[in-house]
Structure 1
Amino acid sequence: MKLNEKEVEILEILQKDARFEAADIAKMTGLAVTEVADTIRRLEEEKVIVHYATLVDWAKMDNFTGVTAMIDVKVTPKRGVGFDEVAERIYRFKEVSSVYLMSGVYDLSVTVEGKSMNEIARFVSEKLSTLDSVVSTTTHFQLKKYKHDGMIYTSKQQDNRIVVSP
């Protein structure tokens, strides 16, 4: 699909903040409100715009105990389907939030979310590593999120103390 410059501009605006109204985007792009709304509707129907999401800093919640892990997976691709078949089997697990085909030592990068490190460990040992095509895995647990999808999660606290010198 080939998009024109204004359509790409609309996508870039929505990617930064999906809460913009069509009227606001129209002002930013110089297009008519109906043209912006029609473009967004068409891009949604054609699955160029796949989903709208909210980024939440769960670490700020006192009672949140969730864990995220990034798992590198080495697989043996199958003749005729390559990595697609095993990737599909992996992304169908409810614990999996994303799967990417990667270059380098490992073939797939899998992001998994769970309630505890033990839950993720059970997922890896009982579900992921038992798949026929999976040769090996390496699991990395996220300890702290600094930036995600272009949004910075941590900010330096400003020191408001008065400087006192002798």
Structure 2
Amino acid sequence: MVNEILEILNEDSRRTPEEIAVMLGTDVETVKQKIAELEKNKVIVKYNTIVNWDKTDREYVTALIEVKVTPQRDQGFDAIAERIYKFPEVKSVYLMSGDYDLAVMIEGRTMKEVAFFVAEKLSVLDSVLSTATHFVLKKYKVDGVILEDEEKDYRQVIVP
């Protein structure tokens, strides 16, 4: 039942315990108890809203930064990842396989602000060997949600 609750909340975190209970064919108190346990044990860490910022007047830049690092003795990548994720500009940090070690997602008000972060905060860290910054030009889908879901008319126009 726990995995089913997590799947439902992951799909739509606005679902109430009453709705989830009906969906799973169980009682509301059981669902509330399971959710409380999941929150207490940090399985459910936060409830998010996905916003299509392109439809607002908020200006900001998102960038993906590839970071090559030297792992630290007895700590591996964890220590440098922690130093990086503590910066307020950083939205996500992932340990990666392949050509680089960490993928860092950041947000800034301008490209200059992002460049300043990379030059003055990230690349100067002792364990950082190199960085490559990629700016997000447009978001089509975020966390499984298509942001521009307009029906397109593919019918052929016939001119008499």
TM-score normalised by the shorter chain: which range applies? over 0.9
Partner letter of residue 96 of structure 2?
Answer: M
Q: Equivalent of 2:71, from 71, 77, 81?
A: 77
Task: Tell me if 1:10 matches 2:20.
Answer: no
Partner letter of residue 139 of structure 2?
Answer: K
Tell me the residue number matched to 1:42: 37
Separation in 1, partners of 2:67, 2:106? 12
Q: CA deviation at 1:156?
A: 3.8
Taking the TM superposition and a 5 Å limit, the aligned residue runs for 1:1-166 are 6-61=1-56, 63-156=57-150, 158-159=152-153, 165-166=159-160
Report SS of the residue matched to 1:111.
Answer: strand
Separation in 2, partners of 1:10, 1:49? 11
Partner letter of residue 13 of structure 1?
Answer: I
Q: CA deviation at 1:85?
A: 0.6
Separation in 2, partners of 1:150, 1:158? 20
Report SS of the residue matched to 1:98.
Answer: strand
Q: CA deviation at 1:31?
A: 1.1
Q: CA deviation at 1:164?
A: 5.6
The total of aligned residue pairs comes to 160
Q: CA deviation at 1:7?
A: 0.8
Separation in 2, partners of 1:43, 1:156? 36
Separation in 2, partners of 1:121, 1:89? 18
Q: CA deviation at 1:154?
A: 1.6
Displacement over 3 Å in runs of 4+: 156-159
Q: Normalized against structure 1, the TM-score is what?
A: 0.92
Separation in 2, partners of 1:18, 1:138? 34
Q: Which blocks of at least 5 consecutive residues in structure 1 are unaligned?
A: 1-5
Deviation digits for residues 60-109 of structure 1, max 9, x if unmatched? 11x22100000000000011001111000000111101101111110000
Separation in 2, partners of 1:157, 1:33? 38
Partner letter of residue 31 of structure 2?
Answer: V
